């Protein structure tokens, strides 16, 4: 079974421009790439997809997502979450273990992998918890979890509060060549706070979440990573201080990598219009100065990749208001259009830079075989309409979660077809 994707606009990194290419996909891999300058290939006996006028990219990779299964299927499940990912152009997603039960046993890893194989439509890579039940008291069985298919260890949703526990986790992970992925948050500094310290908190008389609550863990952990030699990856970096610490750690050779979310690159606390909990996530929207710092961090490579931190919650939960609602916003179906419109269409970045931070960079950091259109690579492909403008309509999301601050935003750069392993899993072409 072979398919020609014709007339796609493919980014040429050396020439720093889009060029028309025809890509042949066979048996789940990229079998050939032909230059558009040579005319149309002979497509007799092959299926064809016409991508004329559209961006043709390696499928996007999202290393931080919440699929909510098992246990919170009313927020999202693997079927709905992977459909949402596919609509966003994501072909590989790495899911967090803060489910119910927590993904802290080989059985739960197998449950997620089985569900993903039967009901999922994109590649799902599960993380396992660092500590049992994410309680920070006792390490999980790293060897058994790795054996079952976990790709790394994280207590995302909460920080590991105990430094010795984190050091032990890092030593063990290093010995088996596995990464530690850290949600950086000191619990003692955030009690009773829902938004960042800053103008919005002041205006509404709210207690703020200080930048140090995140950066203290980053500082502690890069020292522990240096001592143990582990690959240490920082989740959803949101503060100037964290960027500074990661930059310093990288400069002295610590094996640290990091991610940043579209909302932390685009919104600050000063954009929050009201006490609407669709603007509540963890870490919170920070000050304009922090936004500038994470943008610079991503630009200079201190931050390696863009992730969504797709965190669906029910409408009822979000209706509890800013103080009582759970933290988190959905991300899959707005990520690329947001980043494209805000940074590429507005002339701040070349398109290739955005694509790299969503494909080859996450693949490089986590050693994945996907993320490029090279001949022989798995045929994970995303086709995007860069021109058409559409309004974000949360009610039309494939995700069960409609919780986004971006409803009504007019954006360009909408994915129109997603292919995983050579099979079209979603298309509106």
Ligand X SMILES: NC(=O)N[C@@H](CC(=O)O)C(=O)O
Stretch that binds ligand X, among 202-210, 265-273, 323-331, 413-421 (CB under 6 A): 323-331
155 is an interface residue for ligand X by CB under 6 A:
no
Among residues 371, 352, 372, 374, which one has the least CA distance to residue 33?
Answer: 374
Please tell me whether residue 308 adopts helix, strand or coil conformation: coil
Contact of 191 with 198, CB cutoff 8 Å = no
> Does the annotation flag 320 for ligand binding?
no
Binding flags for ligand X, 178-217, as an x/- string (CB under 6 A)? -----x----------------------------------
Tokens 């750690």: give the residue: 249
Asked if 269 is an active-site residue, the reply is: no
State the Cα–Cα distance between residues 161 and 149, nearest whole angstrom. 26
| Residue 321, number of CB atoms within 10 A of its CB | 12
Residues 86-105 that bind ligand X (CB under 6 A): 98
In degrees, rounded to 5, the angle at the alpha carbon of residue 189 between the alpha carbons of residues 158 and 197 is 105
State the Cα–Cα distance between residues 422 and 240, nearest whole angstrom. 41
Residues 130-169 that bind Zn ion (CB under 5 A): 156
- H or E segment to which residue 391 belongs: strand 390-391
Residues 276-305 that bind ligand X (CB under 6 A): 281-282
- For Zn ion (CB under 5 A), the number of binding residues is 3
Contact of 351 with 19, CB cutoff 8 Å = no
Stretch that binds ligand X, among 136-144, 187-195, 293-301, 324-332 (CB under 6 A): 324-332
Q: Which is nearer to Zn ion, 183 or 286 (CB)?
A: 183
Residue showing the smallest CB distance to Zn ion in the complex: 183
Dihedral class, residue 45 (left if φ above 0, else alpha if ψ from -120 to 50, else beta): left
328 binds, among Zn ion, ligand X, none (CB under 5 to 8 A by kind): ligand X
CB of 331 to ligand X, least distance (A): 9
Residues 280-309 that bind Zn ion (CB under 5 A): none
328 is an interface residue for ligand X by CB under 6 A:
yes
State the Cα–Cα distance between residues 107 and 105, nearest whole angstrom. 5
Q: What is the DSSP string of 262-301?
A: HHHHH--GGG--SS-GGG--SSPP--HHHHHHHHHHHHTT
> Does the annotation flag 67 for ligand binding?
yes
Q: What is the DSSP string of 51-117?
A: -TTSEEEEPEEEEEE---TTT-TTT--HHHHHHHHHHTTEEEEEE-S-SSS-S-SHHHHHHHHHHHH
Tokens 């803060």: give the residue: 98
266 binds, among Zn ion, ligand X, none (CB under 5 to 8 A by kind): none
> Does the annotation flag 236 for ligand binding?
yes
| Residue 123, number of CB atoms within 10 A of its CB | 21
> Does the annotation flag 309 for ligand binding?
yes
CB of 98 to ligand X, least distance (A): 5
Q: Which is nearer to ligand X, 198 or 422 (CB)?
A: 198
Please tell me whether residue 89 adopts helix, strand or coil conformation: coil
Of the candidates 309, 361, 380, 385, the residue annotated as catalytic is 309
- The size of the chain, in residues, is 429
Contact of 249 with 271, CB cutoff 8 Å = no
311 is an interface residue for ligand X by CB under 6 A:
yes
140 is an interface residue for ligand X by CB under 6 A:
no
Q: Residues 24, 183, 280, 286: which binds Zn ion (CB under 5 A)?
A: 183
State the Cα–Cα distance between residues 426 and 429, nearest whole angstrom. 9
State the Cα–Cα distance between residues 359 and 356, nearest whole angstrom. 5
Contact of 287 with 269, CB cutoff 8 Å = yes
Q: Which is nearer to ligand X, 157 or 405 (CB)?
A: 157
CB of 182 to ligand X, least distance (A): 11
Residues 383-422 that bind ligand X (CB under 6 A): none
State the Cα–Cα distance between residues 91 and 95, nearest whole angstrom. 13
240 binds, among ligand X, Zn ion, none (CB under 5 to 8 A by kind): none
Q: Which is nearer to ligand X, 151 or 425 (CB)?
A: 151
69 is an interface residue for ligand X by CB under 6 A:
no
Binding flags for Zn ion, 206-245, as an x/- string (CB under 5 A)? -----------------------------x----------
In 3-state terms the chain splits into helix, strand, coil percentages (rounded to 5) of 35, 20, 45
CB of 281 to ligand X, least distance (A): 4
Q: Compute φ and ψ for 131, nearest 5 degrees.
A: -120, 150
Q: Which residue ranges make up the site for ligand X (CB under 6 A)?
A: 66, 98, 156-157, 183, 281-282, 309, 311, 326-328
List residues forming the annotated binding site for Zn(2+).
Answer: 64, 66, 156, 183, 236, 309
Site residues for Zn ion per CB under 5 A: 156, 183, 235
Instruction: Give the residue ranges of the annotated binding site.
Output: 64, 66-68, 98, 156, 183, 236, 282, 309, 313, 327-328
Binding residues for substrate: 66-68, 98, 282, 313, 327-328
Which residues are annotated as catalytic?
A: 309
């Amino acid at each position: 079974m072979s398919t020609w994707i014709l007339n796609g606009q493919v980014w040429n990194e050396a020439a720093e421009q889009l060029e028309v290419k025809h890509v042949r996909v066979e048996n789940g891999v990229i079998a050939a790439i032909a230059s558009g300058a040579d005319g149309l290939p002979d497509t007799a006996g092959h299926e064809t997809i016409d991508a004329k006028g559209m961006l043709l990219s390696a499928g996007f990779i999202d290393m931080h997502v919440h699929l909510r299964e098992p246990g919170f299927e009313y927020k999202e499940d693997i079927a709905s979450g992977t459909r949402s990912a596919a609509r966003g152009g994501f072909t590989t997603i790495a899911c967090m273990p803060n489910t119910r039960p927590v993904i802290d046993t080989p059985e739960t890893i197998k449950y997620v992998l089985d569900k993903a194989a039967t009901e999922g439509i994109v590649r799902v890579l599960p993380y396992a918890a660092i500590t049992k039940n994410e309680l920070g008291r006792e390490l999980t069985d790293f060897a058994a979890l790795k054996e079952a298919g976990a790709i790394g260890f994280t207590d995302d949703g909460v920080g590991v509060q105990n430094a010795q526990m984190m050091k032990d986790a890092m030593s063990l992970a290093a010995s088996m060549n596995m990464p530690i992925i850290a949600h950086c948050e000191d619990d003692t500094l955030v009690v009773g706070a829902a938004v960042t310290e800053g103008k919005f908190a002041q205006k509404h008389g709210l207690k703020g979440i200080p930048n140090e609550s995140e950066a203290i863990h980053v500082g502690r952990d890069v020292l522990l990573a240096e001592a143990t030699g582990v690959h240490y990856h920082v989740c959803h970096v949101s503060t100037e201080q964290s960027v500074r610490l990661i930059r310093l750690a990288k400069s002295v050779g610590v094996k640290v990598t990091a991610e940043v979310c579209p909302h932390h690159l685009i919104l600050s606390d000063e954009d929050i219009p009201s006490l609407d909990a669709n603007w509540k996530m963890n870490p919170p929207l920070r000050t304009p100065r922090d936004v500038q710092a994470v943008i610079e961090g991503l630009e200079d490579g201190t931050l390696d990749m863009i992730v969504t931190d797709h965190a669906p919650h029910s409408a009822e939960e979000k209706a509890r208001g800013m103080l009582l609602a759970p933290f988190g916003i959905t991300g899959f179906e707005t990520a690329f259009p947001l980043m494209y419109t805000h940074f590429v269409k507005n002339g701040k970045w070349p398109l290739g830079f955005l694509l790299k931070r969503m494909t080859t960079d996450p693949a490089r950091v986590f050693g994945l075989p996907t993320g490029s259109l090279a001949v022989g690579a798995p045929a994970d492909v995303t086709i995007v309409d860069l021109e058409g403008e559409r309004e974000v309509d949360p009610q039309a999301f494939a995700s069960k979660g409609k919780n986004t601050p971006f409803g009504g935003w007019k954006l360009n750069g909408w994915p129109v077809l997603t292919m995983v392993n050579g099979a079209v899993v979603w298309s509106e072409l």
